[in-house]
Amino acid sequence: MATNEELTEIKNIIARAVEQNPENSEIIKAFAPVIIKQRQLAAQSSLKKLDCSLIDKEKLKAGVPASRQINLFMPEDSLKEITLAMANAVKEGMPQLSENIDKISTLIGEGKINPADYFKSAADGENKAAGSWAKKLEISPSNTSFLMSLVGRVVLEIRAREITAALGAFDWQKGYCPICGEFPSIALIEEEGGKRFLHCSSCGQDWRFTRVSCPYCEKEERKDMEYFYVENKTQEAAFVCDKCKKYLVTLYRAGKIFARDMDVSAISLIHMDMLMQQKGYEPMTSCVWNVLC
């Protein structure tokens, strides 16, 4: 289970983000209970362990993520408690969604819908569960997808930790996540050495990626790639590629004085999402916050 020190740290990170980004304080505060609960749940894993021996490092080297080698959502996973806990966190941060979220929670509590079915059907390529749930609940499928994406993050964060602990170091050179295969939501460039690290909001995995290529289309011609900055905020930027018309919010870290949570950082930079989308660029991946722009 997450320690008191870890919970205090994430709360301090969120409070600092609100203070430093007053223009984005409302959305940061709305997602605060969600992020805190996700970290708590991911730290107290009760899911059945994966057989990580089925993951081939040579396939990883060739660009095949773990999610395409092994099912990260196991049929026997019990996701009821995780889903109900995340539902309460959503209601705390976003009370305007309470009515719809309560409909989902009630049917789960009564055993009329099973959260694991949502991810099983998604893995099969057609999420029939999402449609049937929407009919039963008489709410927009987007509300269901929103809640279940938050649940998915908890499961995938557990799996990411499990896989990286089992495999140790492995070679990965792609712009999409080695664990779940999703594209990054934010990048971090270190002050020392200028190394770029990408972060996946779907599972929480971080990985190093070259600065001379676009993570999305792998283009390497610098004339088609640039960074946009906000005036007086030199540590915040957005990488853009004019070949694929994608952008990636980027943070420059000057030293390591404070602890950082990359999801909180990504939400704190939502003004960059808004600016880039107004310019006609699309995010490399859709997150529960950048689709709200």
Backbone angles phi, psi at 244, to 5 degrees: -100, -5
- Distance of alpha carbon 55 from alpha carbon 116, whole angstroms: 23
Between 64 and 6, where is the model more confident?
Answer: 64
pLDDT digit string (tens) for 108-130? 888 888 898 888 755 555 555 66
User: Could you give the domains of the chain?
Assistant: 45-167 (no CATH), 186-292 (3.90.1670.10)
31-to-92, 143, 184 alpha-carbon distances in Å: 9, 15, 19
Structural contact between residues 241 and 183, judged by C-beta atoms closer than 8 angstroms: no
pLDDT for the residue 238: 94
For the CA atoms of the chain, what is the radius of gyration? 19
- Distance of alpha carbon 269 from alpha carbon 238, whole angstroms: 9
pLDDT digit string (tens) for 242-278? 999 999 999 987 556 566 899 999 999 999 999 999 9
Residue showing tokens 């995995």: 205
- Which value, to the nearest 10 degrees, does the dihedral of the CA atoms of residues 49, 54, 58, 59 take? -90
Residue 46 has pLDDT above 70, yes or no: yes
pLDDT for the residue 252: 87
pLDDT for the residue 293: 58
Residue 264: exposure state from Cβ atoms within 10 A (0-12, 13-18, ≥19): buried
pLDDT for the residue 219: 86
pLDDT digit string (tens) for 63-110? 999 999 999 998 777 799 999 999 999 999 999 999 999 989 998 888
pLDDT digit string (tens) for 139-175? 677 888 899 999 999 999 999 999 999 999 899 999 9
pTM of the model: 0.91
Q: How many CA atoms lie within 13 A of 61 on its CB side?
A: 7
